[in-house]
Every structure is written in structure tokens, then in C-alpha cells.
A = this chain, B = another copy of it.
């Protein structure tokens, strides 16, 4: 299942970026499951990684390589997360980088590895290395769609987003691809997101730019509250285009970058495991952004709210109960206002006087639903995107390894 229509956008070429895919046989035979992305030597790269304490071997290795050297290749496999694999996992991730480096004539530290898939199985390194020549010979500047397909796990759709902006007469392109469908509550990162631009951005500007855009996008989505061991998001700037060297240019670039990441984050929720609904939770009137996020995520994680959404049941009492248990001190329920689309559900501590079951049900019948919660405590706000909890979610996750 997935919510709404989706088409993969036409992605402009970014000079110097080439993408290649291969079938290493990690997953279903005949599926692309290995992706290599080549970056030009001029590239600067920022990255955010999962905060999960059991973070995967490739996360450790990518961090280490990034500190040592400017990256020339991203190496991504699906079907196996190489997480919970101890010392052997670290050796396997290093060996994969070395194999690619040797074929490409670069140093192993200039390769960043990324893995996604089942946790706790040893990485099939031989199969991965055997498929590398195919991936390298497939490298081309138009490989976006194939690469977006090659990183998927339980996703049903490739996810891409692109923007072009004018920087003082020069066109700057931002292309992003991402994957993710379950085990989604990114914490300071996403499942896997790879973003590329031809802009020239020095490292001091690049990391804060990525961090802020991730905080407004991937860190505001949840499918099932489960933060993955492998979350990662990178932003590579080839430096061949216009230079983002002033605060004014940075602001314009940041806005476009955030648009690309929000579009990718929303695409993950639209394609969430078993999703039949795309839900936007807006919390306003909070005393801090943290508080707004806490309320939004408490509602977004409530199994009872999520099953009511699945049933298209305007069971607003469950939304109210979830808001009431959010970790907020001294919440005054008489000030809380909850709207479902344009229908007022809750005011003055109970059901809104104007509410009718008919009006509520009409909104709940839609595939895209907005819930707005006004806390009446301050001026901070947050928006979180989530999905419903369906029979298919249970089926997908009860069957995943079989």
C-alpha cells in the first residue's frame, strides 16, 4: 500500500556525479540491491547519522572515513544492515570499501559505506565484491531512478526530489534520493538519504545547512517510533557551480534544500509500511519547539490513534487521551483546541459544541488528513508527518524475515 499517486521526478544531471547499480543477489533475484555513487574530487560532504547506540558497522566506518579524507564514492547495499554484527561487521564494511577503492583506483578511506536491511546477519561480502565491477561499469550521470530503486527495502516506490534555484544568474541544482518505510523515527538522521548539489559550499557552512534541513524534515516523521541502527543522510556539494559564500545565498540554498528533504521525508511516510493514510500533525501554541514535538510524536505514536485513522473512525477521544498523556507539565486542558481538517473536535476540555459525527467522518474518510492541536501555552510550533497502523503493517513486519 502507499498513499496517493507518485511519480519519480526528472532529475537534472549534476556534472561530475555518476550513479551505478548492480544486482548482488542480497534480496530477491533480479532486483537491484547495490548502488555506487561517484563524486568529483572537488566535493565537500556533510553527513548526519543515527543516534541509536547499536549503530551499524557501516555507520562507524563511514564516520571514520569522513574524518580522514574527502569522499569519492558512496557504496550502498540493501537487504542486509550489517548491524549487530560486532567486530566481523566492521571488518566486512572495511573490506567492501577496500574492494571498491581498489577497482576505482582511490584510497579505501575515500569510500563511505551504507547498508540497510535485516539486522544481525553477516554481510555477504563476497557477493557484494563480485557485483562491484557491474556497478562501476554502469556508472552514468542519469542513474538517479535506478539508484533510487537500488536502495529500497520494504518500500514500494523509489523516492526522489529535485529543485533548481537561481543564485545571482547561475542555476544551482539539488537532487535527492531516499529510502525508508518501516523502523522509521529518524533521530538526527533519516533511514538513508543522499543529496547532491553542484553548488560550492565550504565545510563550515555545509554541516549546519544539512543539520537544519534534516531537523525540519526527516526528524519530523515517524512510522512506528523505531529508530534504525543505520540511519544516515549525506549532502554532497561538487563545487562546480555557483558558490554559496554569503548569508543571503545560504538562506536561498537552505530553503530549497529543506524543500527537497521535506519532499523526500513525506514520500517515506506516503510509502510507510501498510499505510493507508498520510497524516499531518501540526502542534501550535506550545511553550517550546521541543514541547510541540513531544505532543505531536505522542499522538503520532499512539497505536489507538493510528488504528482509528486506519478505520477512518473520527474517534477524537483517542487523540484527546494521547495529548493528555504527552510529557508536558501542567497542561491546562481547558485551553486546548483540536481540529481535524476544518472540523473542530475539541474545545473547553471536551467535544466542541459545533462537532458532528458526520463532519468528522467525512474528513477521516480522506487519504490525507491534517490534525491541528493548539495548546494555548505559547508561540512555538512543530509539524510531524505520520501514517496509520493497518493489518498490512502487522503482516509486513510479522513476515519480514520469512
A: residues with CB less than 8 A from B are 51-55, 81, 83-89, 118-121, 182-183, 185, 187, 224-229, 301-304, 307-308, 310-311, 313, 315-318, 320-326, 328, 331, 333, 346, 348-351, 389-391, 393-395, 397-402
A33 to chain B, nearest CB (A): 18
Contact A119 B84 (CB under 8 A): no
Contact A401 B315 (CB under 8 A): yes
Identify the interface centre among A87, A88, A303: most chain B CB within 10 Å of its CB.
A303
Cα A389 to Cα B54 with chains together (Å): 24
Chain B minimum-CB-distance residue to A226: B304
Q: Which residues of B contact A311 (CB under 8 A)?
A: 397-399, 402
Chain B minimum-CB-distance residue to A185: B325
Contact A84 B349 (CB under 8 A): yes
Contact A53 B323 (CB under 8 A): yes
If A52-B325, A81-B317, A324-B55 touch, whether A349 touches B86 (CB-CB below 8 Å) is yes
Q: Which residues of B contact A307 (CB under 8 A)?
A: 393-394, 397-398
Cα A391 to Cα B315 with chains together (Å): 20
A358 to chain B, nearest CB (A): 14
Chain B minimum-CB-distance residue to A187: B325
A305 to chain B, nearest CB (A): 8
Cα A308 to Cα B397 with chains together (Å): 7
Cα A308 to Cα B224 with chains together (Å): 14
Q: Which residues of B contact A51 (CB under 8 A)?
A: 325
Please state the number of chain copies in the assembly. Answer: 2
Q: Which residues of B contact A346 (CB under 8 A)?
A: 84
Cα A233 to Cα B214 with chains together (Å): 44
A306 to chain B, nearest CB (A): 9
Contact A86 B351 (CB under 8 A): yes
Contact B83 A325 (CB under 8 A): no
Contact partner of A321 (CB less than 8 A), chosen from B54, B321, B389, is B54
Q: Which residues of B contact A402 (CB under 8 A)?
A: 311, 313
Contact B183 A328 (CB under 8 A): no
Q: Which residues of B contact A121 (CB under 8 A)?
A: 317
Contact A86 B348 (CB under 8 A): yes
Contact B54 A349 (CB under 8 A): yes
Contact A225 B303 (CB under 8 A): yes
- The 9 A-B pairs with the shortest beta carbon distances in the complex, nearest first, are A119-B317, A86-B350, A54-B324, A120-B317, A311-B398, A307-B397, A53-B331, A227-B325, A52-B324
5 contacts between A and B (CB under 8 A): A87-B349, A183-B304, A226-B303, A227-B324, A229-B321
Contact B89 A324 (CB under 8 A): no
Contact A322 B226 (CB under 8 A): yes
Contact B315 A226 (CB under 8 A): no
Contact partner of A53 (CB less than 8 A), chosen from B81, B317, B328, B397, is B328
A155 to chain B, nearest CB (A): 16
A396 to chain B, nearest CB (A): 8
A287 to chain B, nearest CB (A): 14
Chain B minimum-CB-distance residue to A355: B120
Q: Which residues of B contact A313 (CB under 8 A)?
A: 398, 400-402
Cα A118 to Cα B348 with chains together (Å): 19
Contact B183 A53 (CB under 8 A): no
Cα A302 to Cα B224 with chains together (Å): 8
Cα A285 to Cα B178 with chains together (Å): 38
A279 to chain B, nearest CB (A): 15
Contact B324 A398 (CB under 8 A): no
Q: Which residues of B contact A84 (CB under 8 A)?
A: 316-317, 320-321, 346, 349-351
